[in-house]
Amino acid sequence: MTGDKAFYVTTPIYYVNDAPHIGHAYTTIAGDVLARWHRQRGEAVWFLTGTDEHGTKVERTAEDHNVEPQAWCDTLVEEAWKPVLETIDASNDDFIRTTSGRHRDGVQRFWEQLKGTQYVYEGDYEGPYCVDCEEFKVAADLIDGTGKFAGEKVCPIHGRPVEMLSETNWFFKLSAFSDRLLEHYATNPNAIEPQSARNEVVSFIKQGLDDISMSRSSVSWGVPLPWDETQVVYVWFDALLNYVTAIGYGAREGSPEAEKFQNTWPANVHLVGKDILRFHAVFWPAMLMAADLPLPETVFAHGWLLVGGEKMSKSKLTGIAPSQIIDHFGSDAFRYYFLRSIQFGSDGSFSWEDMSARYTSELANGFGNLVSRATAMVGRYCDGVLPEPGAYSNADLALQDAMMAAIERADAAMVQLDFATGIGAVEEFVGAINIYVTEQEPWALAKDPASADRLRTVLYVICEALRVVAVAHHATMPKSTLALWGRLGAEPHLGPLGEQPVQDAGRWGQLPPGAAVTKGDALFPRLEDPAAAEKPSSE
- Of residues 54, 57, 133, 474, which has the active-site annotation? 133
Q: Residue 252 burial by CB count (10 A; 0-12/13-18/19+): exposed, middle or buried?
A: exposed
Q: Residue 23 burial by CB count (10 A; 0-12/13-18/19+): exposed, middle or buried?
A: buried
Task: Give the DSSP letter of residue 516.
Answer: B
Q: What is the biggest distance separating any 2 CA atoms in the chain, rounded to whole angstroms?
A: 91
Catalytic residue check, 130: yes
User: Could you give the dihedral angle defined by the CA atoms of residues 130, 201, 289 and 301, in that order, rounded to the nearest 10 degrees?
Assistant: 80
- Structural element, H or E, at residue 110: helix 101-115
How many residues are present in the chain? Answer: 539
- Of residues 24, 103, 173, 302, which has the active-site annotation? 24
- Of residues 130, 328, 473, 474, which has the active-site annotation? 130
Catalytic residue check, 206: no
Catalytic residue check, 382: no
CB 463 within 8 A of CB 386: yes
- Of residues 314, 479, 493, 535, which has the active-site annotation? 314
Rounded to whole angstroms, the Cα distance separating 373 from 459 reads: 10
Question: Which pairs with CB-CB distance under 8 Å and at least 24 residues apart come from 129-132?
Answer: 129/162, 129/163, 129/164, 129/165, 130/155, 130/157, 130/158, 130/160, 130/162, 130/163, 131/56, 131/57, 131/60, 131/163, 132/57, 132/157, 132/158, 132/160, 132/315
- Give the type of residue at 381: Y
Catalytic residue check, 73: no
- Of residues 38, 54, 103, 155, which has the active-site annotation? 155
- Of residues 21, 38, 302, 474, which has the active-site annotation? 21
Catalytic residue check, 103: no
- Of residues 5, 158, 184, 535, which has the active-site annotation? 158
- Of residues 137, 280, 311, 474, which has the active-site annotation? 311
The set of residues, in sequence order, having a beta carbon less than 8 Å from that of 110 and lying 6+ positions away, is 241, 244, 249, 250, 287, 291
Catalytic residue check, 158: yes
Backbone angles phi, psi at 513, to 5 degrees: -55, 145
Q: Give the catalytic positions in this structure.
A: 21, 24, 130, 133, 155, 158, 311, 314
